[in-house]
Structure 1
Amino acid sequence: LRSRSAAYGGVKASLQSLDNQNGNLQTRSLNGIVSKDDLVVSEYLTTLLVVVSSYLQWERSYESFSVFVVPRSSRKLTEDREGAIFAVTLFKRAVCDFKAKALQSKFVVREYSFDVEEKKQLEIVKLSVQKKEQHGILVRWLKVNLTQLFMAWIHLKALRVFVESVLRYGLPVNYQAFLLETDRKRSKKLKEELNSLFVHLDPTASTKDVSYDIPGLCQQDYSSYICFHISTSVLEISEKPDT
């Protein structure tokens, strides 16, 4: 279980780190936000992506960060409640100066390369396939072993019923064990019916004297028959596709 869970968790973590769609504009993936047409890349020109919180301040100041900024080249690519990402075109020789001035004005320049992003997308597709495969392997393994564990658990319950029956009713062994499945609404009524049906086996179970104590047993749970609760809630969890 540990090795299979670790294999699946490792692939899932790698995929989330590459395809982060839930972070803020400074960290989230730009897949689907930036297209090749948004970028101007030539021998002398390049495009920077800048995270902006104040639109008005940005529009008033970005051209002053360097004389090599292309005038009116600012374009908003996306926005959220906290800010927006703008693309701005400038000469490559001014990139370092522009980044320094932008940082002083509390604007964040994001590193971005379309070629690198394409490679990242190929890696995301590859990891998505691996994640699906690892998820299937893990779920199949869990289903098989859950069945085996549940069977072993039922056997242990049966052994406990037998031992408790011998301790309470003594020898010779003349007991009948069975499984009853019910819902929560009818559980209390069923217990009352069973207790009245087998009250002749242990008359003390019908007493209302709460001061009567049996070592190792709670008075409220004591009945004329041996009964152990088996919770099947783990089996009722609906199987949902992994996302």
Structure 2
Amino acid sequence: MEPICKYFLLSLPESIDSKDWLKQSLNNGDCQLNDFKIPEFQIGTLDSLVQESEELSKIDVQLQTSISKIVDILNNVLENGSFRTVNSKNVLDYVETFNWNSSKYRLDKSIKSLVEIISNEAINLDSDVRTSYSNYQTAKSNFLAADRKRNGDLSIKSLHDIVKPEDFILDSENLTTILIAVPKNMNDDFKKSYETLTPFVIPRSAKLISFDQEYNLYSVSLFKKYEQDFINGSREKKWQPRIDFTYNEEKLNEMRKEFDLTKTNEQKLKNELIRLAKTAYSEILNNWIHIKAIRTYVESILRYGLPPQFNCFLIKFNKQNFKNFDKSKTELIKKFGYLGGDGFENGSNLNEYASLVDPDFEPFVIYNIEIV
């Protein structure tokens, strides 16, 4: 799924005069730069930060995957309409003006507690959307089956609006009536051979009830004893016995209601899914950006040390300059690669903590944010 916008979330030490260079020189100054405000958190020990870093890496990927799935669902079920809003803002405005929600995620809690609260919210919502989507898919499948019965050809469609009581022998101990959908190119063969297909077929009992472009629908009466033989013989002839249909007034009334009931249920569950998925998109993306903020804070301490003294920037790439995304990262590494020390240039991992938690070690803290 192609993103609608890409960002670098970049953290650099305060001691570096980086903002002017990022504005004026990165990608020839053709990047939108925003400050990304991250509050101070309850840090704990460095060992606890290493553990949280590992957990944050997993949650980051999990929430991004969840958002992509929700976008895919909404694209499938929405005929039109926008859904990319977070906290009543356009999603890009929300990301670019991000502020930590301290009333909901209190900063007197530990990083571990905040990660648990935020991730659990997102995971529960994701589970609700998946359940709702599964229910909708079942309802849609039932509706499509009912629609085929109503609008398909005579070999599969419901016959409740076609047949009449006088088309059947009813309440007989010995006789029964079978409906046969005969392909039109086999009509002559049917007329010639149906009476002798099995013993005790009532002569001249075949009655044309209906027809469409593909089939003629006949009723044939015979002794019940030979009903299964007649069905088997019809199938060998490539006729389509409609054994799914038995004339029963109560059953017919139920079938008349089936289409409307499945259509109503499909539409009801579709509307519920759309409402839930829109809410989930907003909430989980909000959760995701909060997780990005915590992850950037944790990694910045592990990279640059204590006390926390770093600046965070959001570098925006619209679709028209996606081609410069990788090029810009190369420029950043060229400019700020010295932060990794001499060892970064020859590939060794200088930072004990970073090497433990980040296999794609960069000389500074940088994460991709792709909005889909």
Aligned residue among 355, 362, 366 for 1:223: 362
Aligned residue among 149, 162, 167 for 2:302: 167
Structure with more of its chain in strand, by fraction: 2
Distance 1:206 1:213 in 2: 7
**What letter is aligned with 1:199?**
G
Aligned residue among 112, 136, 144 for 2:271: 136
SS at match of 1:229: strand
| Unaligned 5+ runs, structure 2 | 1-127, 171-175, 236-240
How far off its partner does 1:40 sit?
7.1
> Number of matched residues?
219
Distance 1:40 1:63 in 2: 22
Aligned residue among 12, 26, 49 for 2:179: 49
How far off its partner does 1:136 sit?
0.8
Distance 2:191 2:252 in 1: 27
Partner of 2:332: 194
How far off its partner does 1:5 sit?
4.5
**What letter is aligned with 2:166?**
V
Distance 1:125 1:6 in 2: 21
**1:100 pairs with 2:228:** yes
With a CA cutoff of 8 Å and minimum separation of 6, indicate the structure with the bigger relative contact order: 2
**What letter is aligned with 2:190?**
W
Range with bigger deviation, 173-182 or 12-21: 12-21
**What letter is aligned with 2:194?**
Y
**1:30 pairs with 2:165:** no
**What letter is aligned with 2:309?**
N
Is residue 164–residue 226 contact of structure 1 (8 Å, CA) maintained in 2? yes
Is residue 182–residue 217 contact of structure 2 (8 Å, CA) maintained in 1? yes
**1:62 pairs with 2:194:** yes
| Unaligned 5+ runs, structure 1 | 237-243
**1:86 pairs with 2:214:** no
State the Cα RMSD in Å: 3.9
Q: 1:170 to 1:25 in 2, by over 3 A?
A: same
Q: How does 1:228-239 map to 2 (within 5 A)?
A: 228-232=367-371, 236=372
Q: 1:109 to 1:178 in 2, by over 3 A?
A: same
How big is each residue's C-alpha offset from its partner over 1:45-94, in whole Å with a ceiling of 9 and x where there is no partner? 886321457926533321234452436635773576xxx5631354xxx3
Distance 2:135 2:232 in 1: 44
Q: 1:179 to 1:98 in 2, by over 3 A?
A: farther
SS at match of 1:177: strand
Percent identity at matched positions? 20
